[in-house]
Structures are given as C-alpha cells and as structure tokens.
Amino acid sequence: MGIVSRGFKGRRSEGPPDRVPPGQHLTDDFPVLSAGPTPHTPLEDWTFTIEGGAEPLSWSWDEFQELPSETITADIHCVTRWSKLDTVWEGVSVDTLLDRVEHEGSYLLAFCDGGYTTNLPLEHVTDGKAWVAYGYNGQPLDPEHGGPARLLVPHLYFWKSAKWVRGFALRDEDEPGFWESNGYHLLGDPWQEQRYWGD
Amino acid sequence: MAGAAVLGRLTWLAADVIGAAAETPRVRTLRLHADEWPGHRAGQHLDVRLTAEDGYQAFRSYSIATAPDDELAITVERLDDGEVSPYLVDELREGDRIEVRGPIGGYFVWDASERGPLLLIGGGSGVVPLMAMIRHRAGTGSSIPARLLYSSRTLEDVIYRGELDELAARQDGFELFHTLTRSQPEGWAGYGRRIDAEMLREVAWPAADEPQVFVCGSTRFVDTAADGLVAIGYEPQSVKTERFGATG
C-alpha cells in the first residue's frame, strides 16, 4: 500500500478484478493516442504485406476482405491507465495470415502508415490471440482509431495493437518498435504491469 | 540524467506538495518535491498515484509543466466527472503528499540543444508539455526561433497567461499567437475561431524551414492541427502529437 493521500476517497470505478488489470480504471469513452497525424491511405492503395518468409506475401484491400473473418469481443487496456470492456471487432486472425507463409521467425515487427512499428513475439499473436481488425462495433474502423485496419492484440497493452497496420516483418530476434524504443516495455503484459523499461 | 533514469525500474516516489496555484478557474498547478526524482526532459509526463485510507488506489498520467532544471510541477485541469482531477484541483493542499513515478516518454520531448525553429500548437491544457519546452528555451537563454499557437475557449481559460505575455515581450525569438474559440474580449487582437488551415498558414513557418513541431490537445484539436500542417506541406513524420482523452 502506498502513502495515504489525505481526504482521497476515489470513485471506485475499477471494475471486476478478474477483468481489469492492476492500476487500470474503466472508461466508456474510446480515447485516442497517436504519435503523429492520422494517415488517410485510400483503400485502392492499401496492401497488407508479410516480409521475411520464404516468399513475400501481399494482399490488396479486396483480397484481404475475402479472407475468413471473425467477430472478436475483447477487453482492452491502454498503458495510460484506461481499460474498456467488451469491445467488439471484426477482422482476420493473425493465424490465418501466418498459415499462408513458410517461415522460421520467432518475432514480428508490425509496420504501419506513418512509420509506426511495434514488436511482438509470435507466441503472443498466434493461437487465436491477435487479429488484423477492420471493423469496430459493426462499422468500418474509423481512421482515428486505426482504420482502415489495425492490429488487435487485446491481451497486451493497447499500444501493441498498432493502428494503420500495413504488414509484418518476420524476425529471428526481438527488435524494439517505436514506443518500445521510447521508454515502453518490450512486451507490455498488463497483468504484470509491464508499462515501462525495467517493469 | 533522465535518459539513464528510465533504464532502471521507475519506482513510486513520495512527493510533497510544496505549492499550489490556480491558473484558471478550472486549472491548477501543483509544485512537487520528490527527494529521489531523477530529473526529466521538456515534454515528458509522470504517473500520479493516490491512495485512500482503505488502500484503494487511483492512477493518472500528467504532463510535467516545468523545465528540466526547475523544480517539478504538474498542471491539472478539473474534469467535472473525473475521479482524480477534482481532488488534485480542489482538495489537495500545500503540505499534502502524493506519489509520483517517472519521467515517462522519450518521443514528445525537446531539448534546447536541438536545431530549430520550434513550432508549438496547443489546445486547452494541451499547452502544459509545450510550456515545459518554452520554459526550457527561456531558461537556457536559447535564441532558437519559437512560436506558440494556443487555442483556448475564453481569455479566462488561458493557462500561464501572464508568464506567456512576459516571455513574448522579451522579443528574444519567442512569438505568441492566441485564438479564443468561444468568446473574445472587446478589442481582442488575436484570432477568434477554431484552429484551421488558414490560421496555420499564417502562423507556421514554411515547411521548407523544417521546424520541429509539437501538437498537444484533445483528439479533435490535434487531428485538425496535424491534418492542417500536412495540408500546407509538412511531412507527417515531422509532426509530433500528443492527444489526451478525458479520463478523469
């Protein structure tokens, strides 16, 4: 327990303890965090590419829509300490994408419009743990929330769910992405409170 | 110093409130002293932890308002339905103690040793991390050209108004541009509308001057400013943004 702050009572909006990780509070809003301007890539120019396999692989927007999609209901947790329960997304499982690539990588670096990157161990994005999402609440995903498509890795802090994602580079080693090079944890497990370097 | 500090684990530090001053009716600056504070860079933020008597804890992040060489301070806007900000703005007193952890963030930061010019665009309490940069520039005697375009609802809502006026009056290369979106006093010489591309074209340096750009405010404000800068030729990757959601 920390130092008691005189007269602080709090509003106790922390939510069910098995669903809201330590240090988080619930919000009904959907706050936005980005490091730069919101990109607006026309769908006809959009591709999703996987590099680092035996053969490079790329889908156009229309081809990507043809891939089997799933509806995902998930709780999300932002490192800035808000959590939002039961968010509903539509997208393609990362398993579906990686199944089409012959590779020996252990990590991926997701790359995005605007130059943003984030790194993930493959074991954290396979077996139904991650998606490339293009729908939110039954609607196309808004640009400010990462549309046309963003990564969705709900079991890690939400900066890992990179907005405006355009592809994966498969890697043998874990290479820090954008926030991971700027003070944030390499993995970002909210249940371990892996917020910053050294956590 | 801050660079080394983030390599180790950031620990919670007891922070004494050594001063509290109203900036506007809704905004207050808290001056803090934490014995083991490792120092910070202009633009970084910190986490605040409040603990109730029964052990319940609440956490929020706030931008640091002061220059690296100065004492630690945060400036907090009261969100009426918030959990933490009403306590920090209305209840906390000099002599009270909270806990802080930081500094945090290695991207939205500026150092006076970097090249200029410096273009700062802030909406409401989004001016806070920009003020840390302005104070850092002034405190180091930097002559880097700097401009602040600052959007507030009314004159009464302008944070750091007196200090900004005083810094602009030095005529040392810092220029101040206000816009008041809701109401303007009689004889107001600044802008009187929401930020738009035309305003940015008038205030911002040409993209060819390659300014360092920092934009901070609400999501809508930041998107408008960032999109406007891209529209007048700024490289998207030259525009560093920090958006805040109302999270209490």
Structure tokens given for B92: 């906390």
Whether B9 contacts chain A with CB within 8 A: yes
The CA-to-CA distance between both ends of chain A, in Å, stands at: 18
Residue A129 to chain B, least CA–CA distance (Å)? 27
Q: Which of A76-80, A167-171, A179-183 has the highest mean pLDDT?
A: A167-171
pLDDT for the residue B244: 77
CATH architecture entry for A44-173+180-192: Alpha-Beta Complex (3.90)
A133 vs B106, higher pLDDT: A133
Whether A1 contacts chain B with CB within 8 A: yes
Please tell me what DSSP assigns to residue A124.
G
A81 to B247: CB separation less than 8 angstroms, yes or no: yes
Whether B95 contacts chain A with CB within 8 A: no
Distance CA B152, CA B124 (A): 5
pLDDT for the residue A12: 73
Distance CA A59, CA A65 (A): 9
Residues in CB range of A114: below 8 A, 6 or more apart: A34, A35, A36, A37, A39, A164, B236, B237
pLDDT at position A198 over 90? no
Domains, in order of start, for chain B: 2-104 (2.40.30.10), 118-244 (3.40.50.80)
The three-state DSSP-derived secondary structure of chain B is CHHHHCCCCCCCEEEEEEEEEEEECCEEEEEEECCCCCCCCECCEEEEEEECCCCCEEEEEEEECCCCCCCEEEEEECCCCCCCHHHHHHHCCCCCEEEEEEEECCCCCECCCCCCCEEEEEEHHHHHHHHHHHHHHHHCCCCCCEEEEEEECCHHHCCCHHHHHHHHHCCCCEEEEEEECCCCCCCCCCECCCCCHHHHHHHCCCHHHCCEEEEEEEHHHHHHHHHHHHHCCCCHHHEEEEEECCCC
- The b/e string for A17-44 (b: 16+ C-beta within 10 A; e otherwise) is eeebbebbbbbeebbbbbbbbbbebeee
The number of residues making up chain B comes to: 248
**Which chain B residue is nearest to residue A1, measuring alpha carbons?**
B55
pLDDT at position A31 over 80? no
Considering the entire predicted model, what is its pTM?
A: 0.91
Average pLDDT across each block of 10 residues of chain B; the chain has 248 residues. List them in order: 53 96 97 96 95 92 95 94 93 96 93 93 97 97 97 98 98 97 97 96 95 94 95 94 69
Within a 13 Å sphere around the CA of B10, how many CA atoms are in the beta-carbon half? 26
pLDDT digits (tens, 9 = 90+) for A151-163: 999 999 999 999 9
Q: How many CB pairs under 8 A join A and B?
A: 134
In chain A, where the domains are located: 44-173+180-192
Residue B61 to chain A, least CA–CA distance (Å)? 7
Whether B115 contacts chain A with CB within 8 A: no
pLDDT at position A34 over 80? no
The ipTM assigned to this model is 0.85
Please tell me what DSSP assigns to residue A174.
-
Cβ-contact B216, B119 below 8 angstroms:
no
Q: In which band, very low, low, confident or very high, does the pLDDT at A30 lie, cut at 50, 70 and 90?
A: confident
pLDDT for the residue A15: 77
Percent of chain A with pLDDT over 90: 82
pLDDT for the residue B1: 37
pLDDT for the residue B247: 46
Whether B155 contacts chain A with CB within 8 A: no
Beta bridge partners of B98: B15
Q: Which of B99, B107, B229 sits opposite A182 (nearest CB)?
A: B107
